[in-house]
Amino acid sequence: MVATDPVRVLVTGAAGQIGYALVPMIARGAMLGPDQPVILHMLDIEPAAEALKGVKMELVDAAFPLLKGVVATTDVVEACKNVNIAVMVGGFPRKEGMERKDVMSKNVSIYKAQASALEQNAAADCKVLVVANPANTNALILKEFAPSIPDKNITCLTRLDHNRALGQISERLNVHVSDVKNVIIWGNHSSTQYPDVNHATVTANGAQKPVRELVADDNWLNSEFITTVQQRGAAIIKARKLSSALSAASSACDHIRDWVLGTPKESWVSMGVYSDGSYGVQPGLIYSFPVTCEKGEWTIVKDLKIDEFSRDKMDKTAQELVEEKELAKSCLN
């Protein structure tokens, strides 16, 4: 892509909390770099049409130099027209007293409709990132109903969990977060995900050391660290009375930026991608793996040693994804 051509970026659910945090980041260049002009396509549902108008007014008022245009609409076809990148934030949130099946059936119909609109209207090379929960399974539904979008172009967000894991390690060791790398989030973006530090390192005084060695507390790493990352979303809701919007928006930018512009040398990130059977994960699930990215393509990091503790956790989260897939199927029928 020539830097002078604007990239069209779709954000669904754009008037919501995450959308409101995300669109200025994109317009500032946090997603595609400081030289890449963008045209923002914002979609939301009819009841949010006025709020969406307000967001568009603010984008105009912010006078972002990289922002070459804004489409704000409640029409899914108009929203998807020629988009190069789609960030699917809109979804039906779980409300009190709702069963998982209720949430699933609502999201199945939303993602089925949006998949068809992308299939027919998006640019041929469109890259899709699903943020709305259940993210892995929403991405799978989207893939099912947008068959012409390549498998490799449909992903879901586990970068937020990845970044949370980096943050926990950096706080524990009192080091800068940019000195911690190669944590892994395996599996589902849910409380069964497995944050793995067995291959993670910290750079201190010019030398790289394993996180396990530096933390020197396996008990903490195998219990509290894992549950803190798994339950972090709930902890933020409890504290803020609202879900984590700022960090979700920021990590969505990280996910797309690394995917499009490449990961730094010698380091990987976590992305929910279509399984090819790597690490014994059933093909046909969207599962979070460690990946490296180059020239707009992601590749699963191969041949990492997996111990028994990890294997068990990786299998449990895969099992949950199999069950979600079945549940989604039953909602389709």
pLDDT tier, 72 (very low <50, low <70, confident <90, very high otherwise): very high
Which structural domain range is residue 94 located in? 7-156
* Marked catalytic residue, from 41, 162, 189, 199: 189
pLDDT of 252 higher than 80 = yes
Residues 228 and 145 in one domain: no
Q: What is the pLDDT of residue 102?
A: 86
Boundary residue ending a domain (156, 177, 199): 156
Q: Specify whether the CB–CB gap between 183 and 161 falls below 8 A.
A: no
Dist CA 250 CA 252 (whole Å): 5
Tell me: is residue 94 an annotated ligand-binding position: yes
> Is the domain of 280 the same as that of 245?
yes
Residues 132, 179: one domain? Answer: no
| Pair 84, 209 in one domain | no
> Angle at the Cα of 72 (from 68 to 77), degrees rounded to 5?
105
Same domain, 137 and 171: no
- Is residue 132 marked as binding? yes
3-state helix, strand, coil in the chain (%, to 5): 45, 20, 35
Q: Is residue 2, in this structure, part of any structural domain at all?
A: no
Question: How far is C-alpha 248 from the chain's CA centre?
Answer: 8
- For all residues of the chain together, what is the average pLDDT? 96
Same domain (yes/no): 40, 80: yes
In the chain, how many domains are there? 2
Report whether 208 contacts 175 (CB < 8 A): no
Clarify whether residues 20 and 114 are in a common domain.
yes
- Asked whether residue 284 is marked as a ligand-binding residue, the answer is no
Domain-ending residue, one of 131, 156, 181 = 156
What is the mean predicted confidence (pLDDT) over 81-106? 90
Is pLDDT at 1 greater than 70 in this prediction? no
> Which two three-digit tokens encode residue 184?
């892994």
Which DSSP string corresponds to 80-111? HTT-SEEEE---PPP-TT--HHHHHHHHHHHH
Instruction: Assess contact for 314 and 194: CB atoms under 8 A.
Output: yes
189 is catalytic: yes
Sign of CA dihedral 103, 136, 186, 177: negative
Residue with more model confidence, 119 or 206: 119
pLDDT greater than 80 at residue 4: no
Q: What is the CATH number of the domain that holds 245?
A: 3.90.110.10
Domain identity same for 178 and 145:
no
Residue 99's pLDDT band, with cuts at 50, 70 and 90, is confident
Pairing state of beta strands 67-73 and 38-43? parallel
Q: What is the DSSP string of 40-52?
A: EEEE--GGGHHHH
Looking at 109, 125, 156, which one is the last position of a domain? 156
56 and 203 assigned to the same domain: no
pLDDT tens-digit readout, 13-61:
999 999 999 999 999 999 999 999 999 999 999 999 999 999 999 999 9
Q: Are residues 167 and 112 located together in one domain of the fold?
A: no
Cβ atoms < 10 Å from Cβ of 283: 10
**pLDDT computed for residue 208 by the predictor:** 96
pLDDT, residue 250, reads: 98
Does 131 show up as a binding residue in the annotation?
A: yes
pLDDT at 205: 85
Are 171 and 77 members of one domain?
A: no
- Do 183 and 322 lie in a common domain? yes
